[in-house]
A and B are shown apart, each in its own frame.
Chain A
Amino acid sequence: MTPPPTAHGRRSAHAAHAAAPSFLDVDTLIGDRQVEIVICCGSGGVGKTTTSAALAVRAAEAGRRVVVLTIDPARRLAQSLGLGELDNTPRPVVGLDTSAGGSLDAMMLDMKRTFDEVVVTHSPPDKAEAILANPFYKALSSSFSGTQEYMAMERLGQLHAQASADAAAGRAAWDLIVVDTPPARSALDFLDAPEHLSSLLDGRFIRLLLAPAKGPLRLMGVGFTLVSSAMNKILGSQIITDVQTFVRACEAIFGGFRQRAEETFARLSSRHTVFLVVATAQRDALREASYFVDRLTEEQMPLAGLVVNRVHGSALDVSAQRAAALAEDLDTPDGAAGEHDLEAEALRRHADLMRVAEAEAALLDRFATARPDVPQTRVPALPSDVTALGDLRRVGALMAEKD
C-alpha cells in the first residue's frame, strides 16, 4: 500500500499522476523593477492581509521602496508593523533592515474619508459641501457594499500618482505598491465593484433623474414618469428627493467616476501590475481562487500565481493509518491510565495531521492539474499567530522558499 503523501514526500508521491505545479518565485517577482503594483486577492479568512504585509516586508528588505495598502488589518498586525493604529495616510514602518536601500510605509484604507476627498477634489466648494451633507451620500459612502472596493482602487490610483510625481520631481518615491483587497464574499468583487458603481452612477436611471422635463430627453419622459411614480409609491418621495439632490449636486464628478474607473482598470492590466491569488488548501478557498484565476486569464490580466497559506505537513513519515493503529495498540483495554497514554494521544494527533495533509495535497494537486500554468507557492501552517515583524519576515521567507 502506498503511504499517503507527507508535506515532504508530496512531490515524489504524486509525480506519477499529477504534474508538479511550477513554483511561484516571489523573490524574482519583487526583484523585478518593472513590477510596480502587486494586488493580493482571495476569499475571506485565507490570510490575505498577512500575505500582503509579509510580501511588503520582504520586498522592502530586498531594497524596494514599498507602500502597503491594507484594508482591514487585525489590530495585532498593525502592531506587528510597529504602528499602534493605521490610518488613511501611509506611515513609515520601523525596525526593518534597510541596508539594501529599501523602505516600507503602511496604511489602512478609510473608505469614507477617501470618498470625501474624491468629492472635495473634484467639485466646487459649495457643491462639495452639499454632497457631503446629503443623507444619501452619507449612506452611500459608508455602507454600499462596493464602496470599499471602489475606494481601494481610488486610493491605489492616488498612491501611484503620488509615487510618479515624487519620482518625476527627483524625491524619494515608492517603487512598489502592495494592495490587500477588501474582505469580500468573492474575490471577484474587487474587479467588478468599481465598474458596477460607476455604471450605476453613470447609468440610464441617473440620467433620467437628471433629465429635464422638456428638451431633447423629453421622449424618455414617459418612461420616467412611470418609473418615478412607482419609486415614489414604493420608497416614499423622500429618498427620490435625496437621490435627485445628490445626483444634481455631484453631476460634475460623475464623468470623473467612470473615467477614473477605466484608468484604474487600464493600469491594472498593464505590465507594471501583477495579481497574486491567495488561498488555503481548502475546497471553498480553492474554488474561489479558481474563479479568480479564470477571470484574470479571460480578461488577460497579469496573474503571477497562487499563494497557498497554512498548508499542513509533517516531518515524521508515518501514515495516518499506521499512527492510528499504533495508538490503538497502546490504549489500555478498559480505558484506565496506562504507561503509554501520552504516546497514544501524540499518535492520534499525528494521524489527524496526516489526514489533513493528505486531503490538502489532493485538493492542491487537483488545482494544479486543472490549471497547470498557474505557479504555486505553499506556506506551511505556523504553530502560532503572526504578531510581530519577525513573524512577517518568517512568513515571507516561507513564501519565497521552494516547497
Chain B
Amino acid sequence: MSGPRHNLHVVSGKGGTGKTTIAAGLACALATRGRRVLLCEVEKRQGLSELFGVPPLEGDEERRLTRTPAGGSVFGLSIDAEDALREYLETFYHLGLAGRALDRFGVIDFVTSIAPGLRDVLLTGKVYEAVRRQLKNLPTAYDAVVLDAPPTGRIGQFLNIHEAVSGIAKVGPIRTQADSVDALLRSRSTIVHLVTLLEDMPVTETEEAVASLRQSGTGVGTVIENMVNPSPFQPAVLADVAAGAVALDVPGWDAQQNAALAAEFAVEASRTLEQQVRHDRLSRLGLPLVQVDFDPLGIDAESLFGIAEQLTDQLALEAS
C-alpha cells in the first residue's frame, strides 16, 4: 500500500463555511486502515476538541481524537505560537536561564504577537515538524497531516512565509526555518483546499483567495462546496417551481397547506438555482470541485464519517 499522494492538507475557507468540520472530515477520510493522520488547529479555538467531544487539547500533546470505521486513527494537536517558540528555543538553543529570562521580560509574548509573520512561521513550523517525521521514519510519524488553517481573509499571508519574514529576519536560524517551511508549502506534497458555501460572499472570497495564492506561488488543490442542497430536478423544472408556476397537490391536504408548501418549495428551488449559478462561477477557476451535502441534523463526531465518505468518493485522491 503506497502512502497518500499529499503529506500536508491545508484547509481554509471564509468564517462560517464549516472549515473545521471539513478539515476533520478530510482527516477521517484519509485515515484508512492502519493509517495515522494528524489534525492540527492553529488559532487556539479548541474547535477540534469541541467537534470530537473530547477534553481540550493542551500543550504539545497529540491525542487520538477518533478511530475511523475504516480502521485508521485521527490524532489532534492544538498549536500555540508561544509554546512553539519556547519549544523551539529549548530544542535548538538550549537557552536555559536565558530562555526563562526571555519569558520573564515578556519577550515571548512580544515576539509572537508583534514580530510580524513570525507567529505564522512558528505555527507552520510545528506542522512542518510533524510532516517531516515521515521522511525521517520516526515511530511518531503520520501518513498525512491536515491543517485547519486561518480563514481565507488571512490565508495568503499565512502561507506566504517567505514574504512574511523577508522584511524582518534576513539571516539567522528563523530565516533558515522559514525557508524550509516555505519549501514544504510550495512542494507537491502539500495541497490547499478552500471550503466555501454556494453563496455570494464566500464564493467571492474563494475567488480572491485563489488569485492571491496563485500570485504567491502556492497553488490551490480543490475547492470544497459545503452544505449543498442537491435537487433531483432539472433547472427548467426548478425555475418553474421558483417562479411559483407549479401547484402542489399533497393527497389529503387542503389548498392552504398546499399553497404554503409550494411557497416554501419555491424559496428552496430558487436557492438551489442560485447555488447552481455559484457552482458555475467556481467552475471557471479551473479547479476540481467537491460537494458535501447539507446535513439538517447538524454536525457532530458521528456525522464526520458521512462527510469523510463523500470526500473519499469524490476526491478519490488519496486511496492507494
Are B264 and A345 in touch, CB under 8 angstroms?
A: no
Are B250 and A347 in touch, CB under 8 angstroms?
A: yes
A385 beta carbon closer than 8 Å to chain B = yes
Instruction: Name the one of B170, B200, B261, B267 contacting A347, with C-beta atoms under 8 angstroms.
Output: B261
Instruction: Name the one of A231, A343, A356, A383 contacting B296, with C-beta atoms under 8 angstroms.
Output: A356
Chain B residues near A384: list those with CB within 8 A: 270-271, 274
Chain B residues near A208: list those with CB within 8 A: 105
Instruction: Name the one of A183, A350, A356 contacting B151, with C-beta atoms under 8 angstroms.
Output: A183
Are B298 and A359 in touch, CB under 8 angstroms?
A: yes
Are B204 and A316 in touch, CB under 8 angstroms?
A: no
Distance in Å: Cβ of B18 to nearest Cβ of chain A:
9
Q: From residue 111 to 147 of chain B, which have CB atoms closer than 8 A to chain A?
A: 111, 113-117, 119
Interface of A, helix, strand, loop or mixed by DSSP: helix
Tell me, in angstroms, the Cα distance from A210 to B232 when the chains sit together: 69
Are B260 and A200 in touch, CB under 8 angstroms?
A: no
Chain A residues near B296: list those with CB within 8 A: 351-353, 355-356, 359
Tell me, in angstroms, the Cα distance from A147 to B150 when the chains sit together: 17
Instruction: Name the one of B93, B232, B264, B268 contacting A315, with C-beta atoms under 8 angstroms.
Output: B264
Residue of A with least CB distance to B42: A185
What mask results when residues 219 to 249 of chain B are scored 1 for a CB within 8 Å of chain A, else 0?
A: 0000000000101110001000100001011
A260 beta carbon closer than 8 Å to chain B = no
Distance in Å: Cβ of B177 to nearest Cβ of chain A:
10
Are A385 and B15 in touch, CB under 8 angstroms?
A: no
A295 beta carbon closer than 8 Å to chain B = no
Tell me, in angstroms, the Cα distance from A368 to B101 when the chains sit together: 47
Residue of A with least CB distance to B108: A205
Tell me, in angstroms, the Cα distance from A352 to B297 when the chains sit together: 8
Residue of B with least CB distance to A143: B116
Kindly specify which of A132-140, A268-276, A393-401 makes contact with the partner chain: A132-140
Chain B residues near A204: list those with CB within 8 A: 105-106
Given contacts A183-B15, A316-B261, A342-B246, is CB(A230)–CB(B101) below 8 Å? Answer: yes
Chain A residues near B89: list those with CB within 8 A: 230, 234
Tell me, in angstroms, the Cα distance from A349 to B201 when the chains sit together: 24
Distance in Å: Cβ of B78 to nearest Cβ of chain A:
13
Tell me, in angstroms, the Cα distance from A144 to B111 when the chains sit together: 11
Residue of B with least CB distance to A237: B172
Tell me, in angstroms, the Cα distance from A188 to B8 when the chains sit together: 31
Q: How many residues of B contact A (CB 8 A)?
A: 75
Are A346 and B107 in touch, CB under 8 angstroms?
A: no
Are B265 and A239 in touch, CB under 8 angstroms?
A: no
Chain B residues near A287: list those with CB within 8 A: 50
Are A385 and B175 in touch, CB under 8 angstroms?
A: no
Are B168 and A242 in touch, CB under 8 angstroms?
A: yes
Given contacts A135-B167, A280-B16, is CB(A355)–CB(B297) below 8 Å? Answer: yes
Are A145 and B119 in touch, CB under 8 angstroms?
A: yes
Chain A residues near B315: list those with CB within 8 A: none
Are A76 and B172 in touch, CB under 8 angstroms?
A: no
B319 beta carbon closer than 8 Å to chain A = no
B171 beta carbon closer than 8 Å to chain A = yes
Q: From residue 134 to 165 of chain A, which have CB atoms closer than 8 A to chain B?
A: 135-136, 138-140, 142-146
Tell me, in angstroms, the Cα distance from A84 to B107 when the chains sit together: 44
Distance in Å: Cβ of A226 to nearest Cβ of chain B:
5
A62 beta carbon closer than 8 Å to chain B = no
Kindly specify which of A29-37, A43-51, A52-60 makes contact with the partner chain: A43-51
A212 beta carbon closer than 8 Å to chain B = no
Are A226 and B110 in touch, CB under 8 angstroms?
A: no
Are A316 and B105 in touch, CB under 8 angstroms?
A: no
Distance in Å: Cβ of B239 to nearest Cβ of chain A:
13
Given contacts A345-B232, A347-B250, A384-B270, is CB(A200)–CB(B109) below 8 Å? Answer: yes
Given contacts A74-B204, A230-B102, is CB(A284)–CB(B261) below 8 Å? Answer: no
Given contacts A234-B89, A316-B260, is CB(A349)–CB(B151) below 8 Å? Answer: no
Chain B residues near A205: list those with CB within 8 A: 105-107, 110
Given contacts A45-B15, A143-B117, A350-B264, is CB(A316)–CB(B102) below 8 Å? Answer: no
Instruction: Name the one of A139, A197, A316, A330 contacting B264, with C-beta atoms under 8 angstroms.
Output: A316
A300 beta carbon closer than 8 Å to chain B = no
Given contacts A44-B151, A208-B105, A242-B168, is CB(A315)–CB(B17) below 8 Å? Answer: no
A388 beta carbon closer than 8 Å to chain B = no
Are B267 and A383 in touch, CB under 8 angstroms?
A: yes
Tell me, in angstroms, the Cα distance from A215 to B50 when the chains sit together: 53
Given contacts A316-B264, A355-B297, is CB(A223)–CB(B172) below 8 Å? Answer: no
Distance in Å: Cβ of A280 to nearest Cβ of chain B:
7
Chain A residues near B43: list those with CB within 8 A: 185
Are A318 and B116 in touch, CB under 8 angstroms?
A: no
Given contacts A236-B171, A326-B250, is CB(A185)–CB(B257) below 8 Å? Answer: no
Tell me, in angstroms, the Cα distance from A359 to B304 when the chains sit together: 18
9 closest Cβ pairs, A-B complex: A45-B16, A44-B15, A236-B172, A139-B116, A45-B15, A346-B265, A355-B296, A352-B296, A316-B260
Report 6 cross-chain contacts, Cβ distance below 8 Å, ordered by A residue. Answer: A235-B111, A236-B169, A236-B174, A342-B265, A355-B296, A384-B271
